[in-house]
Amino acid sequence: MTQPTRFLSKDHPRYKWVALSNTTLGMLMATINSSIVIISLPAIFTGIDLDPLEAGNISYLLWMLMGYMLVTAVLVVSFGRLGDIYGRVKIYNLGFVVFTVGSIALAFDPFQGGAGALWLIGWRLVQGVGGAMLFANSTAILTDAFPVHRRGMALGINQVAAIAGSFIGLIVGGLLAVVDWRAVFFVSVPIGIIGTIWSYKSLHEVGTRNPGKLDWPGNLAFAVGLTAVLAGITYGIQPYGGSSTGWTNPWVLAAIVGGLLVLAGFVVIELRSAAPMFEMRLFRIRAFAMANLAGLLAAVSRGGLQFMLIIWLQGIWLPLHGYAYEDTPLWAGIYLLPITVGFLIAGPVSGILSDRFGARFFATAGLLVTAAAFVALLAIPVNFEYWQFALITLISGLGSGMFSAPNRTAIMNSVPANQRGSASGMAGTVQNAGTSLSIGIFFSLMIVGLAATLPQTLTDGLTAHGVPAAAAQQIGALPPVGSLFAAFLGYNPIESLLGPTGVLDQLSASNAGVLTGKEFFPQLISGPFHAGLVVVFTAAAVMSVIAAIASLSRGKKFLHVEDSTVPARLVTESQNR
Among 436, 424, 414, CA closest to 296? 436
Q: Roughly how many angstroms between the first and final C-alpha of the chain, as a whole number?
A: 46
Q: Is 235's pLDDT higher than 60?
A: yes
Among 262, 267, 256, CA closest to 229? 256
Lowest mean pLDDT among 201-210, 336-345, 374-383, 442-451: 201-210
> What are the φ and ψ backbone dihedral angles of 557, each rounded to 5 degrees?
-55, 130
Q: Specify the DSSP element, H or E, that contains 510.
A: helix 509-515
What separation in angstroms does the CA of 89 have from each of 29, 208, 411, 432?
A: 17, 12, 20, 21
Kindly report whether the global pTM for this prediction surpasses the value 0.75: yes
Q: Is 287's pLDDT higher than 60?
A: yes
CA dihedral for 265, 270, 272, 273, sign (positive or negative): positive
Of 3.40.50.2000, 1.20.58.340, 3.30.43.10, 1.20.1250.20, which CATH number belongs to 5-214+277-450+527-576?
Answer: 1.20.1250.20
pLDDT for the residue 1: 38
**Domain range list for the chain:** 5-214+277-450+527-576, 215-276
Q: Is 258's pLDDT higher than 90?
A: yes
The confidence band for 524, taking pLDDT boundaries of 50, 70 and 90, is: confident
Residues 263, 229 contacting (CB under 8 angstroms) = yes
Q: Is 386's pLDDT higher than 90?
A: yes
Concatenated DSSP letters of 151-162? HHHHHHHHHHHH
- State the CB neighbour count (10 A cutoff) for residue 275: 14
What separation in angstroms does the CA of 243 have from each of 248, 297, 405?
A: 8, 28, 41
Quick one: DSSP state of residue 198?
A: H
Mean pLDDT of 337-365: 85
Q: How far apart are CA 462 and CA 352, in angstroms?
A: 56
pLDDT for the residue 563: 37
3 state SS of 243:
strand
The confidence band for 571, taking pLDDT boundaries of 50, 70 and 90, is: very low
Q: How far apart are CA 493 and CA 504, in angstroms?
A: 13
CB-based contacts of 385: which residues, under 8 Å, 6+ apart? Answer: none
- State the CB neighbour count (10 A cutoff) for residue 494: 25
pLDDT for the residue 10: 55
3 state SS of 240:
strand
- The better pLDDT of the pair 444, 277 is held by 444
Tens digit of each residue's pLDDT (9 = 90 or more) over 76-116: 888 888 888 888 899 999 999 999 999 999 999 999 998 99
Between CA 368 and CA 374, with CA 371 as vertex, the angle to 5 degrees is 155
Question: Residue 489, Cα to own-chain centre: how many angstroms?
Answer: 17
Beta bridge partners of 240: 243
Residues 290, 413 contacting (CB under 8 angstroms) = no
Lowest mean pLDDT among 61-75, 241-255, 412-426, 432-446: 412-426
Residues 33, 96 contacting (CB under 8 angstroms) = no
